[in-house]
Chains A and B, each alone.
Chain A
Amino acid sequence: MSQQPPDLRRDATPTPAEVARLVQPLPPEWVERLRQGSLPTPREVALLRTRLASAPRRAPNWRLSALAGAAVLGLLGWLALPRELPETEQIALSTLAVGVLGPTVRAEGDAALELTRQDPFHLQVKMGQGHATFEVDPTGPPTRLLTLAGEAEIEVKGTAYTVNLAGERVAVLVHRGLVEVRYHDAVVDLGAGQTWSSAPPPAPQPPAASPSPPAAPSPPAAPSPPAAHGTATGPAAPGAAPSSPPPDAEVGRAAAAPPPGDPPPSAADAGAEYAVILDLDELGAPPARRAEEAARFLARYPASPLADDVRALHLEARCQSAPDPSLLPELDRWIGAHPHSPWRLRLLVARARLLDDGRGDCLAAREAYQAVIDEGSPAWRRWATAALERCAPAR
Chain B
Amino acid sequence: MTNDDDALLAALRAGEDLAREHLYRTYAAQVLTWTIRLSNPGMDAEDLAHEVFLVALRDIYRFRGDSSVSTWLFGITRRITANARRRHAIRRLVGLERAAELPASGRSPEEDSLHRERRREVQRALQGLSPRHREVLALVDLDQRSTAEAAEMLGVPTGTVHSRLHAARRALAQHLRRRGWDPAGPPTAELPAAELPAARLP
CB distance from B63 to the nearest CB of A (A): 14
Query: How many interface contacts (CB-CB < 8 Å) are there between A and B?
Result: 104
| Interface residues in B35-73 (C-beta closer than 8 Å to A) | 36-37, 45-46, 49-51, 53-55, 57-58
Contacts of A48 in B (CB 8 A): 24, 28, 32, 46, 49-50
Please provide the 3 A-B residue pairs with the shortest distance between their CB atoms, ordered closest to farther: A37-B122, A27-B183, A59-B54
Determine whether A139 belongs to the interface, using a CB cutoff of 8 Å to chain B: no
CB<8 Å pairs between A and B, sample of 21: A22-B166, A31-B142, A34-B141, A34-B142, A35-B141, A37-B118, A38-B126, A41-B105, A43-B103, A45-B29, A48-B28, A48-B50, A53-B24, A56-B54, A57-B50, A57-B51, A59-B51, A59-B55, A59-B57, A60-B51, A60-B55
Would you call the interface of chain A mostly helix, strand, loop, or mixed? helix
State whether B166 touches A24 (Cβ < 8 A). Answer: yes
A47 is an interface residue with CB less than 8 A from chain B: yes
Considering the chains assembled together, what is the distance between the CA atoms of A299 and B152 in angstroms? 109
Chain A positions within 8 Å of B119 at CB level: 37-38
CB within 8 Å of B: which A8-65 residues: 19, 22-27, 29-31, 33-41, 43-45, 47-49, 51-53, 56-61
CB distance from B188 to the nearest CB of A (A): 14
Name the distance in Å between B87's Cβ and chain A's nearest Cβ. Answer: 12
Flag A177-212 by CB within 8 Å of B: 1 or 0 each: 000000000000000000000000000000000000
Interface size on A, residues (CB 8 A): 34
- Contact, CB under 8 Å: B169 / A43: no
Given contacts A19-B162, A41-B115, A49-B25, contact A34 B50 (CB under 8 A): no
Output the least CB separation between A116 and chain B (Å): 46
Q: Which residue in chain B gives the minimum CB-CB distance to A33?
A: B122
With A23-B166, A40-B29 already in contact, the answer to whether A51 and B50 are too (CB < 8 A) is yes
- Beyond A27-B183, A30-B181, A44-B103, is A38–B50 a contact (Cβ under 8 Å)? no
CA distance in complex: A240, B103 (Å): 85
**Is B106 an interface residue, CB under 8 A from the partner?**
yes
Residues of B within 8 A of A29 (CB): 183-185
A58 contacts across to B, CB distance below 8 A: 54
User: How many residues in B have their beta carbons less than 8 Å from beta carbons of A?
Assistant: 47
B36 with A40: CB separation less than 8 A? yes
B21 within 8 A of A: yes
B37 contacts across to A, CB distance below 8 A: 38
Interface centre among A36, A39, A57 (most CB of B within 10 A): A39
Which residue on A lies nearest to B34, using beta carbons? A38
On whether the beta carbons of A38 and B122 are closer than 8 Å, the reply is: yes
Given known contacts A38-B36, A57-B54, A60-B51, is B169 in contact with A24 (CB within 8 Å)? yes
Cβ distance A236 to chain B, nearest Cβ, rounded Å: 68
Within 8 A of A (CB), among B108-125: 115, 118-119, 121-123, 125
Q: Do residues A49 and B172 form an inter-chain contact, with CB atoms below 8 A?
A: no
Q: Give the residues in chain A near B20, CB-CB below 8 Å.
A: 52-53
CB-based contact A23/B169 at 8 Å? yes
Residues of A contacting B51 with CB < 8 Å? 57, 59-60
Q: How far is the CA of A148 from the CA of B68 in the complex (A)?
A: 76
Q: Contact: A52 with B29, CB < 8 Å?
A: no
Q: Are A23 and B141 in contact (CB under 8 A)?
A: no
**Residue B176 interfacial (CB < 8 Å):** yes
Distance in Å from the Cβ of B184 to the closest Cβ of chain A? 7
A45→B32 contact, CB < 8 A? yes
B165 contacts partner chain A, Cβ-Cβ < 8 Å? yes
B33 lies within 8 A of chain A by Cβ? yes
A369 to B169, CA, bound (A): 110
Residues on A with C-beta less than 8 A from B103 are: 43-44, 47
Contact of B126 among A34, A47, A60 (CB under 8 A): A34
Against B, the Cβ 8 Å flags (1 = close, 0 = not) of A112-134 are: 00000000000000000000000
Residue B145 is within 8 A (CB to CB) of chain A in the complex: no
**What are the residues of chain B within 8 A of A40 when measuring CB–CB?**
29, 32-33, 36, 45
Which chain A positions have C-beta within 8 A of B105?
Answer: 41, 43-44
Q: How far is the CA of A211 from the CA of B171 in the complex (A)?
A: 106
Does chain A have a CB within 8 A of B170? yes
- With A44-B32, A52-B28 given, can you name 20 additional A-B contacts, CB distance below 8 Å? A23-B166, A25-B141, A29-B183, A29-B185, A30-B173, A30-B176, A31-B142, A34-B122, A35-B141, A35-B142, A38-B142, A39-B33, A40-B33, A47-B46, A48-B28, A48-B46, A49-B25, A51-B46, A52-B53, A59-B57
| CB of B25, distance to nearest CB on chain A (Å) | 7
CA distance A37 to B57 in the complex (A): 29
A45:B115 contact, CB within 8 angstroms: no
Could you say which residues of chain B place their CB within 8 Å of the CB of A30?
Answer: 172-173, 176, 181, 183
Q: Which residue on B lies nearest to A40, using beta carbons?
A: B32
B residues in contact with A49, CB < 8 Å = 24-25, 28
Rounded to whole angstroms, the CA-CA distance of A317 and B24 in the bound complex is 101
Residue of A nearest to B58 (CB): A59
Cα distance A33–B28 in the bound complex, in angstroms: 22
Q: Which A residue's beta carbon lies closest to that of B123?
A: A38
- Shortest CB distance A43–B (Å): 5
Chain B residues in 8 Å Cβ range of A26: 141, 169, 172-173
